[in-house]
Structure 1
């Protein structure tokens, strides 16, 4: 077994992380890590240099695991809002969304379940989804949203 020459070390918020440049390349060219490996950035990937990032280390380990496995596991002690903020900083928000909800399907809506009920008789139709989302149609006007966003 040979020595890995593409090992990279980061100090994130005081915690040391080691990973391969190949793992970081999974982030893509539009991420912060993609920018670091761009030829014009002069990034040196060696074992002796730690690159400091003043961010949340608990979120970093979740995002690093996502780059390694393409799966998202968020521990109970990390708020999703905090993870999304950190993912946005690193340019990994699309990776988080894809891992959580699947690949983007061209904005096609699918009905997950209908809740049957009596219509007021004026052409209004209401459908609710199990995740709290709903749709209200009245004539040619349609409103989509969560139960807190609709009247």
Structure 2
């Protein structure tokens, strides 16, 4: 078992830039909602948000609220971060079952890094970052008995 649980980076270390394409995602996160853009014409989900659908090139988009469930598609354990020597970060690509084909790059927090596995079930949480924004992060989903 690892000595330290994985965690999010300190708020001041994470900055985002928004534009008209990504703003709905970040506004929803600020309200503790996980959303994904879905093409209003062909139904293709896409993350990160893009101005055109990669399938049909439509600019029409619907923002869909997701359940917050996910699973680890891929991950990497990062240790010895300069200035944060005791931090352990689990960077992950997260499959989102409510948005087929869409994956979100995020972090798995509050997990023993040695126990993170591909396919591990996750649930979204939100971590404060700079400028008052919230970053979607994921915790291991531990169903109640």
The TM-score normalised by the length of structure 2 is 0.21
More helix, by proportion: 1
More strand by share: 2
| Structure with higher RCO (Cα < 8 A, 6+ apart) | 2
TM-score under structure 1 length normalisation: 0.21
**Higher alpha-carbon Rg:** 1
